[in-house]
Structure 1
C-alpha cells in the first residue's frame, strides 16, 4: 500500500479505517487482493442500495458501451436520457402523484444541493436559508453553509453566511413544542431573522447520527413553510431511492416538497449522477444558468433506467426493506437491552439504522472490531458516537443475520470490562 502513502493526499479517510486493498465486489460483499471477503454494512455511504455490480444493471451497461453508446453528453438530447426520463415519470413520479421537472445539475449530491439553494434564492429574491442542527448537505461552500458539523464547516476557510440553523426534531428531547423557536422568530418583526428563501431538511439525518424525523414533524414543517411562503427543499441524497423503504423518504409524511435533491443510489450502480426535482411553477432557470460538464453521464442514465425497471415496477423491494429494517431494529434493541456497561440507543428507519454509544469513542472501536471480523461499518454523529448500519437493500436475510452476529461480537469485545 506504499503507493497510497507516498502519493495520495492526507485527506483520505475511509481507507484509514479499512487498511486493505480491495479488488472485487458483488452483492453485499467485497474482496481484497489477498482474497479475504468482507460483508458490507456501508454500501458506499448509501450509493449502492442495490449492492455491488448487480447483474440486472451490468448487462444493459455493458451492452450500451459495446455498441458505442454516447458516454459524455453535457445536456444534449440522447436516447439514454430519454429512456431514463420516461421510466422515471412512469415508475416513480406518476404512481406517487408527483409533478416535478427534472434537472441534471451535475454528478454529486453537493451539485444538487447547490442548484436547489440557488434556485430557491432566484425564485424568491431572498438570501437566507433555514437549515437544522446536525444537518449534513455536502462539502461545497453553499452546501457547507447549511451543514451543522463544525469540523466540516471549518474546512471552508471563509465565513459561511446566509443560513440559520433551527432545532431538528427531538433536539430538546421532547421538552419543547415543535417549531416554537422557529415560528416565534418568523412572527416577530424584531427577531432579526430575515424572511427565508427556503428550508432545507433531511427526513433522516445520516451523517448527523441517524436521526429520523417523525411524520407529524415533517408535516408541521411543510405547513409552516406554506404559511410563510417559504420553499421546502428535501435533501434525499442519502435517504432516498428506497433507503427508508419507500422510494422517497418523505412519503411517510404525505408531503410534496417544492424541490427534492437526489444523488448517490439514483444511478443504481455507483456511477456519478444527481437529480434536482422542481415543481413546474418553480422551474425558472434561464438556459445554462446552472450547468456542469458532467451533468449528462449517459452510462448512469442506462443503469438508473435498468434499476427502476428491475426494482420499482412493484413494491417488493420496499416491503423487503421495511422487513429487513425491523429485523435490524430488533437485533439492536436486544443488544441495547443486554448491555450491562454501556448505554446503547437504537436509532433509525428502514435500512438506515444506528446504535448510539453513551461513551462516544466506543462506536469507532466497535467498527474497528467489526472490520477485524470481516464487516464494514462507519460511524456518524457530531461526536462519531453512532455505529451506522446501512447495508445494500438487496442483502439476503442470511447475510444480514451474519452481519448482525458480527456486530454483537464486536460490541461485546469492546464493552467487556468497560466501567458503566
Structure 2
C-alpha cells in the first residue's frame, strides 16, 4: 500500500502529538503525585504532632500526679494517675497503628516512625512500672524507698525526653526525606522529558531524512531535467521513485517531456517539410521568373514582328500593318515608329495598311496621332493601301484624312518624292 505525502505528514503529526501527550500525562501525574505526597506528609505531620503532644502531655501529667501522690497519698491523685496512664496507653497505640506515613511508601520515614513508636512504648512501659510500684495509701515509705520512687520518676522523665528528642528528629527528617523524594520524582520527570525530547529529535531527524529522500531529491531531479529541457536536450526521463504525490508529479513530468519531445519531433519534421516546400517554391519562382523573362522577350519579339519598321533607303522607312488594330497595337505602332524615326533620322515614313481589315474611327484617330507625332520628329508620313471598302468606311464615319499624304500602293509611294495624293 502506497502512502501519500498527506498521510505521511499526518502520521508524523500524530507521532509528535503522542509524544507530547505522553509527556503531558507524565507531568500531570508527577504533579498529582507530588501534591498527594505533600498532602499525605502534611496530614502525617499533623497527626504525629498531635499524637506526640498527647503522649508528652499524658506522660508529664502522669509524672506530676505520681509525684504528688507520693507526697500526699491522696486517693484522687492515684486515680488520676491511673486515668493519665490509660490516656498514655491510648496515645501510644495510636502512634503504633498510624498509617499516614506508611502510606507514603517512604522507607526512611517509616523506619523513623517505627523508632518513635518504640520510644513511645518504652515510655509507656516505664510509666506502667512506676504505676505498678506506687505504694498504697496506708503503706509507710522509708527515705530509701522514697528516693527509689523519685529515681523511678526521673527515669520515666528521661524516657519522655528521649521520646521527645526522637520525635523532633523524626519531624526534621520527614521534611528532608520528602524533599529528597520530590527531587527524585522531579529527576525522573526530567529524564522523561529528556527522553521525549530525544524521541522528538529522532522523529524530526527521520522526518528530515524522509523529506530529503522523498521530496528534495526528486524535486532536484525534476529541476535538472527541466533545465535540460529548457536547453533543448529532450532525452531526459525521471525515474519514478514512489507512488505518492511526488511519484505522480514525476510520471506527469515524464508524460510532459514525452509530449514536448514528440511535439519537437513533429515541429522539426514540419520545419523540414516547410524548408523543402520553400526550396521548391524558390525553384518554381526562379523558373517562373525565367519563363516570364522568356515570355517578355517573346512578347517583345512578337511586338516587333507585329509592327515591323523596315528601312528602304537612307531616309525612308516602311511600316506594313497586318491584322486588326486595337488600342494596344496602335500604341505599339506609335512607339515603334517614333523609336525608328529617332534612331534613323528618317525623313519619310510609309504606313502600309493594306493588311488592316477594318478602319473605324478609333483606328483612324490612332493613325492620325502617329502621323502627328512623326511630323513632330521631322518625318513626313504617307498612308498606303487604303482599299475601296476602307475608304467608304472612312467617308461614312466622317473622318477627314486631308492632312495626310496617301498612295494606292507601296511602289507609287516610293516613286513619289514629296508630292501629295
TM-score grouping bracket, smaller chain normalisation: under 0.3
TM-score using structure 2 length: 0.13
> Which one has the bigger helix percentage?
2
Larger Rg: 2
> Which one has the bigger strand percentage?
1
TM-score using structure 1 length: 0.13
